[in-house]
Amino acid sequence: MENRTIKFAVIGCGHIGKRHMEMVLRNTECSLIAIMDVLPQEQLNIGDVPFYNDATAMLTQNPEVEVVCICTPNGLHSSYALLALDFKKHVVIEKPMALTKADCEKIIFKSLQVSKQIFCVMQNRYSPPSVWLKEVVDKKVIGDICMVQLICYWNRDHRYYKAGNWKGTADLDGGTLFTQFSHWIDLMYWLFGDINNIKATFADFNHQQSTSFEDSGIVQFSFVNGGMGSINYSTAVWDKNLESSMSIIGSKGSIKVGGQYMNEVDYCHIQNYTMPELAPTNPANDYGDYKGSANNHGYVFQNVIDTLKGRTHATTNALEGLKVVDIIERIYLHNKVVKAPILGVK
């Protein structure tokens, strides 16, 4: 049983779907049985894997599929996940798990009914700085948490938001925190736990013509486990990404992890502590797409395989995926919207 090949199907053949296909094809313990997208096959630049325009037909005609990867627009994650569970398949869901806590709960309830696993893709947990931060916080090397500041300043302009695309729509995209920054909120939750006492202010500085939601926000809150925090974020940055960073003030020291993708340790000053040398991080391009032959998605898929073969447990389970959606949903509910003018228009 341990030597068996786990058979995958992928729903959604865009950029992220192709990354999932690549990860499956590279892993000798996997095989890619079928793929599905609503677009015609000739528009997708994909290989010779059996292709379908209908997910029900794909799953009906390929009963040997064990795992279905959901790589569709955000607003379709829950419906396709529930469909895969109807066919009694394990599910790998790209972030976010869904756009509402209620839809996440439906997925979890169904997975329990059919006894299948839900894997939420939060691959940034595998980066060397993230792994190191988890150890420093869990072992209280940095002491009690006093303050945490998360900063996410990225560029998303006309090159990203194209007319007729799902990106920028309320029903399929969901908002900046869901599409651009849910990975960092996941890291914050993974490290420090849940939040409450939320206050948020949003503005839309230069995306009134391209999105249905804010492009910038300032969020303040308390951590349930102690300490206070804030998130400052924007996709109104001109031309290219500026940074994703996390500053942590603890009772025994301070840390800042920065770079464009929270992939560099900028500062570490902790009482009686010498920082270890970390493994190299995977570089990323301007839109967060990992280059090179290795990336953190590979760790995600190895975790899926190891979990299904009984070697370990899911790194990011369905309840954690739900919690990230719950936090974002509550942030959006506790907001004050600032009506910002369209930049360049007087």
Look over the chain and give the mean of its residue pLDDT values, rounded to a whole number: 92
Kindly tell me the burial class for residue 278, based on how many C-beta atoms sit within 10 Å of its own C-beta (0-12, 13-18, 19 or more): middle
Query: How confident is the model over 300-316, as pLDDT tens digits?
Result: 999 999 999 999 999 88
User: Residue 131, SS3?
Assistant: helix
Question: pLDDT-derived band of residue 324, with 50, 70 and 90 as boundaries?
Answer: very high
pLDDT at 43: 87
Question: pLDDT-derived band of residue 341, with 50, 70 and 90 as boundaries?
Answer: low
pLDDT at 294: 39
**CA–CA separation, 330 and 310 (whole Å):** 35
Question: pLDDT-derived band of residue 13, with 50, 70 and 90 as boundaries?
Answer: very high
Region 49-53 average pLDDT: 96
Region 279-301 average pLDDT: 60
Query: How confident is the model over 151-209, as pLDDT tens digits?
Result: 999 999 999 999 889 999 999 999 999 999 999 999 999 999 999 999 999 999 999 99
Which residues, at least 6 apart from 143, have a Cβ–Cβ distance to it below 8 Å?
Answer: 250, 251, 252, 253, 271
Query: How confident is the model over 238-273, as pLDDT tens digits?
Result: 999 999 999 999 999 999 999 988 999 999 999 999
Give the up-direction half-sphere exposure of residue 212: CA atoms within 13 A in the CB hemisphere: 13
Query: How confident is the model over 116-162, as pLDDT tens digits?
Result: 999 999 999 999 999 999 999 999 999 999 999 999 999 999 999 99
Could you tell me if 249 and 147 are in contact, meaning their C-beta atoms sit under 8 angstroms apart? Answer: yes
Could you tell me if 85 and 11 are in contact, meaning their C-beta atoms sit under 8 angstroms apart? Answer: no
Q: Cβ–Cβ contacts within 10 Å for residue 71, how many?
A: 27
From first CA to last CA, the distance across the chain in angstroms is 68
Task: Report the predicted TM-score, pTM, of the whole model to 2 decimal places.
Answer: 0.92
Share of the chain above pLDDT 90, in %: 86
Answer yes or no: is pLDDT of 74 > 90. Answer: yes
AA letter at 79: S
Write down all domains in the chain, each with its CATH number in brackets: 6-123+297-316 (3.40.50.720), 124-270+324-338 (3.30.360.10)
Residues facing 148 on adjacent strands: 229, 248
Dig out the tokens for 75 from the structure: 């607003």
Could you tell me if 318 and 120 are in contact, meaning their C-beta atoms sit under 8 angstroms apart? Answer: yes
| Highest-scoring range by mean pLDDT, 43-47, 105-109, 283-287 | 105-109
